[in-house]
Structure 1
Amino acid sequence: MKILSAQQMNNLDSETLRDQKISSLDLMERAATVVFEEIKKLYPRLECSTFYIFCGKGNNGGDGLVLARLLDQQQAEVKVYLIDVKEYSPDNLFNQKRLPNSMIQKISPEDRIDISSQVIVLDCLFGYGLKTVLTAAWNGIISSINGCGARIYSVDMPSGLLADETTAADAPIIRADLVFTFQSPKQALLLPENQWHVKDFKVLDIGLSQRAIEAAKSNLFYVDQALVRSFYRKRRKFDHKGTFGHTLIIGGSKGKMGAVQLALKAALRAGCGLASAYVPASGNPILQSTVPEAMVITDPEQDFISQFPTVASYQSIGIGIGMGTAQYTIDALKVFVSGIDDTPLVLDADALNILAREPELWSFVPAHSILTPHPKELSRILGTWQDDFEKIEKVKVFACKYQFYVLIKGANSAMVMPDGLVYFNSTGNVGMATGGSGDILTGIITSLLGQGYSSKEALIMGVYIHGHAADIAVKTIGTYSLLPSDTINHLSDALIALEQDDNGLVH
């Protein structure tokens, strides 16, 4: 799914009117009706619900006015707070006239409104079209909404949040429990810096022109199941273990063999034909007893890696998990990277920390390698950044320079390609914020790379099924109790889902 800019969304609306020969009023009615249907799912007994709808002067406010009428028709109690200005958009003004005057109360941005925590708040002040940061004059109404304790739903965007650039941290911005955004995610909804304003969002299809969507150019994409299914490979009757590649995981050190154990189990669950580990000698009994399906090769040293094995016989190599940064390990990685052939690597954890200290070695890392840093590891590689937009731009420059595929971990993890394309993941949950989740991901991606998926496919699919498996697991385990091993146990469910049609049938 393409992620489109505010200007592109505006163009898309216009092209939809032309292609479908409808009016802007028709499109507003359609969009608001789609939101209304979502609200009905959340609150089936609308006649027992009270809605406060805050409407701006433009078409986002017009959406709110249509919602007010639709909710009122279902016997909900509705009160509209409309920003008082001299001029409204034509469609906004038209929909004002379709409501009884008694339902609408005009307010100023500075006004403080008493809002009960028992009502349902719909924020329709500003949508994606907001071009400038709101001034402090808006603190009155926005702080009233944010501080009321009620559930807050924003239509298209949390009011005050800019769609395509960083919004000042001290600007007045709605803190939405859920954002109903139209047709395409907006980039700002996906970034960690906006987490206080976007607890969650849902993309609603409002039937915009498919021709115009396909014609729109974007270097930003939102990964959904349809995309992953497009390159998912079903297995054939006469395939064998050699078909699915031999994966090698290099890592581990004293006290951190569990990381390799998790990566091996995940690699096997993700479908590699063979899995081996290269670890310090003390890791042999641990891995042989806990992952009997894997093979183990040991370093001469007991507690750390002092040299790297010959890797020509492996289809994929993941390096760094639990590896530590002993000086012998640092020296061994330098030698290994300097002499490696053109086989792409999956680099994580201490492999990244070591290379960040020796940046001249990046040029020796094979092109199309995959890097999976967490935020602190990424800052060691790139230095600091002012905001999430700058962070992504810095990663794009780095990925292009060395032809790497770089994961920016987090909610809606961003995957940066060497050609400048960026893919945001749609799966996963906060239960994954625990030690070991990254080790699993390294195992999954390395496994997929060994099975013949391209670096791009292995990264996108690996991140997606990792998150989807965790989403399945938390349905019964919850986010507090989720362990990385739980995610591994549900990888099979995530993979089965890729083979199912919309009716749940496996083909």
Structure 2
Amino acid sequence: MPKIDLKFTKSVITKRPENSYKGNFGRILVIGGNANFGGAIIMSASAAVYAGAGLVTTATEPSNFTALHSRLPESMVVDYSDETYLKELIPTMNVLVIGPGLGTSAKSLQILNFVLGQVSAEQSLIIDGSAITLIAEHHLPFPTAPKLIFTPHQMEWQRLSQIAIADQTDDQNQAVLAQWRQHNPNITLVLKAHRTKVYLPDNSVWENTAGNPGMATGGSGDTLTGILAACVGQFQPADKAVLAGVYIHSDIADELTDDGNYVTLPQEIIPLLPKFMGRLASD
């Protein structure tokens, strides 16, 4: 099984060209954050900005606007219920994230259904958290056009795949993915666990070599979605960008643990992203 390690990640994260502008580094739309879980979408959007995304827009519950403007002035904001505006906005994006803090209410389901109906073949859609639960509970069909990247933890994967946690072997996981890829061949699974594994559309399975128990805290997955979105928006091919994003998230957490941290807070990972990625690109 191939490993995601520092050497591999350095091969993906490249220096920025001298003649660059923000449009070169991905237009990201992050969707989620109901009135109760606004922190999740703030962490996801923040991670995308700090990991180098060129433009980040956050579609969220309006009650989160003030916090977003205060915490992340680099991100634009939009009401995630404004379908008229989103219908114009979504086609301008390279990467979409849906799920962090979205919730599982009827309103959340409506937002998810709308977004699933808008994405196109040229885009990547990262599906996380509540969105995974809603798809599983309501048996929603997957979009057939875009590149889909699912980022479940093991319980969310159980809901989505119907594979019990104890039975989530590579063979079982690949069998489910093979069925889904008959309808959309561009499905990637990032299965978060003690050693996160990434199942790519070419049927390869990669294992992350970084990460530690201190990452088992709220917001860790939300932060990962933002990093993945930024990497997919900046680096090609997208499959390698996903692998690199998984490693970056975990290796920064390992550095914090090596400094003596008992738990690795997402808010500690996020501000370290620019320098960490700068080191990768300069080596």
**TM-score normalised by L of structure 1:** 0.51
Q: Relative to 1, partners in 2 of residues 1:365 and 1:431: Cα closer, same or farther, differing over 3 Å?
A: farther
- 2: CA distance, partners of 1:474 / 1:493: 17
Aligned pair 1:497/2:274, yes or no?
Answer: no
Q: Given the alignment, which residue of 131, 148, 157 partners 1:351? A: 131
- 1: CA distance, partners of 2:141 / 2:84: 17
Which residue does 2:119 correspond to in 1? 340
Aligned pair 1:410/2:175, yes or no?
Answer: no
Q: Given the alignment, which residue of 73, 77, 87 partners 1:296? A: 77
Which residue does 1:471 correspond to in 2? 254
- 2: CA distance, partners of 1:384 / 1:341: 29
Which residue does 2:86 correspond to in 1? 309
Structure 2 unaligned spans of 5+: none
1:297-328 Cα offsets, whole Å, 9 max, x none, are: 1245xxxx888812011121111100011112
- 2: CA distance, partners of 1:422 / 1:473: 27
Q: Given the alignment, which residue of 20, 35, 42 partners 1:261? A: 42
Structure 1 unaligned spans of 5+: 1-219, 502-507
**Amino acid across the alignment from 2:113:** K
Q: Relative to 1, partners in 2 of residues 1:453 and 1:477: Cα closer, same or farther, differing over 3 Å?
A: farther
Aligned pair 1:426/2:203, yes or no?
Answer: no
Report the Cα offset of residue 430 of structure 1.
Answer: 0.9
**Amino acid across the alignment from 2:217:** T
| Correspondence 1:371-386 to 2 at 5 A | 371-385=150-164, 386=166
Identical-residue share of aligned pairs (%): 30
Report the Cα offset of residue 233 of structure 1.
Answer: 2.1
Which residue does 1:387 correspond to in 2? 167
Aligned pair 1:368/2:150, yes or no?
Answer: no
> Secondary structure of the equivalent of 2:58?
strand
| Correspondence 1:123-142 to 2 at 5 A | none
Q: Higher relative CO (CA 8 A, sep ≥ 6), structure 1 or 2?
A: 2
> Secondary structure of the equivalent of 1:243?
helix
- 1: CA distance, partners of 2:255 / 2:85: 37
1:380-435 Cα offsets, whole Å, 9 max, x none, are: 11112453424433454256333201111012210001221001011111111000
Aligned pair 1:327/2:109, yes or no?
Answer: no
- 2: CA distance, partners of 1:425 / 1:350: 24
Does the 8 Å CA contact 1:400/1:419 hold for their aligned counterparts?
A: no
Does the 8 Å CA contact 1:338/1:365 hold for their aligned counterparts?
A: no
Report the Cα offset of residue 296 of structure 1.
Answer: 0.8
Which residue does 1:482 correspond to in 2? 264
1:62-82 Cα offsets, whole Å, 9 max, x none, are: xxxxxxxxxxxxxxxxxxxxx
1:319-375 Cα offsets, whole Å, 9 max, x none, are: 11000111122123223313432222011011111111233512x253421110111
1:114-162 Cα offsets, whole Å, 9 max, x none, are: xxxxxxxxxxxxxxxxxxxxxxxxxxxxxxxxxxxxxxxxxxxxxxxxx
| Correspondence 1:151-162 to 2 at 5 A | none
- 2: CA distance, partners of 1:244 / 1:262: 19
Q: Given the alignment, which residue of 218, 226, 233 partners 2:7? A: 226
Rg: which structure is higher? 1
**Amino acid across the alignment from 2:220:** S
- 1: CA distance, partners of 2:251 / 2:138: 35
- 2: CA distance, partners of 1:378 / 1:462: 20
Report the Cα offset of residue 271 of structure 1.
Answer: 0.4
Q: Relative to 1, partners in 2 of residues 1:365 and 1:441: Cα closer, same or farther, differing over 3 Å?
A: farther
1:208-227 Cα offsets, whole Å, 9 max, x none, are: xxxxxxxxxxxx31112222
Report the Cα offset of residue 455 of structure 1.
Answer: 2.8
- 2: CA distance, partners of 1:398 / 1:432: 32
- Length, aligned pairs only: 276
**TM-score normalised by L of structure 2:** 0.90
**Amino acid across the alignment from 1:444:** I
